[in-house]
Chain A
Amino acid sequence: DGGITQSPKYLFRKEGQNVTLSCEQNLNHDAMYWYRQDPGQGLRLIYYSQIVNDFQKGDIAEGYSVSREKKESFPLTVTSAQKNPTAFYLCASLPRREANYGYTFGSGTRLTVV
């Protein structure tokens, strides 16, 4: 079955540490997205990518970085510059960026600073 796989499900980060969240899709979708969800807030866009080797900042990109070396993969790195990284991170995809469809979401990664 096609879908999006996110790993790990839970991740603990120490102060000053960089961590990378994995997102892999087998839907053959061109567009991929990273969202952050905090309690009581809507999903906020971190980064998105429309094609391989291209990505754009979203509304809250500071302290994050991404790469898109393969169509299937869109990993997110949470750097030490992100001062409040504890949140639920969601990877999503669309057939193409302008597609007028709802997102397919991965199962999410819950990141906690320890």
Chain B
Amino acid sequence: QKEVEQNSGPLSVPEGAIASLNCTYSDRGSQSFFWYRQYSGKSPELIMFIYSNGDKEDGRFTAQLNKASQYVSLLIRDSQPSDSATYLCAVISYTGGFKTIFGAGTRLFVKA
């Protein structure tokens, strides 16, 4: 079992729709959760982080965390073609020492 799992996609949504990206993790000691956006050929950029159970909203982005079920999700409202990218989930685990583990990413394609 991978430590951080994401559906590789591609996830295709029409412009204006809600895109839902999911991530599961295996280490219950995980404390901090991040979403990065990576455009093709570019480096990742941080778009959201969440530490507590529940929802966190920032503009069109909402991160959702459920530690009991060990999943974190990212919702993108009013999706735009410019949102087309790979979204990486990253988890900080403190089990055995501070460590950041990345998922392989989900490719999102927003159709105009």
Q: What residues make up the interface of A, taking CB atoms closer than 8 Å to B? A: 40-43, 45, 90, 97-98, 100-108
Per the bound structure, the CA–CA distance linking A10 and B31 in Å amounts to 36
Per the bound structure, the CA–CA distance linking A81 and B80 in Å amounts to 44
Per the bound structure, the CA–CA distance linking A98 and B45 in Å amounts to 19
Per the bound structure, the CA–CA distance linking A42 and B90 in Å amounts to 9
CB distance from A39 to the nearest CB of B (A): 9
A41 touches B46 (CB 8 A): no
- B61 on the interface (CB 8 Å rule)? no
- B88 on the interface (CB 8 Å rule)? yes
A103 touches B4 (CB 8 A): no
Please list 15 pairs of residues, one from A and one from B, whose beta carbons are closer than 8 Å in the complex, sorted by A's number: A40-B8, A42-B88, A42-B101, A42-B105, A43-B88, A97-B98, A100-B92, A102-B36, A102-B49, A103-B44, A103-B100, A105-B43, A106-B43, A107-B43, A108-B43
A43 touches B42 (CB 8 A): no
B42 touches A107 (CB 8 A): yes
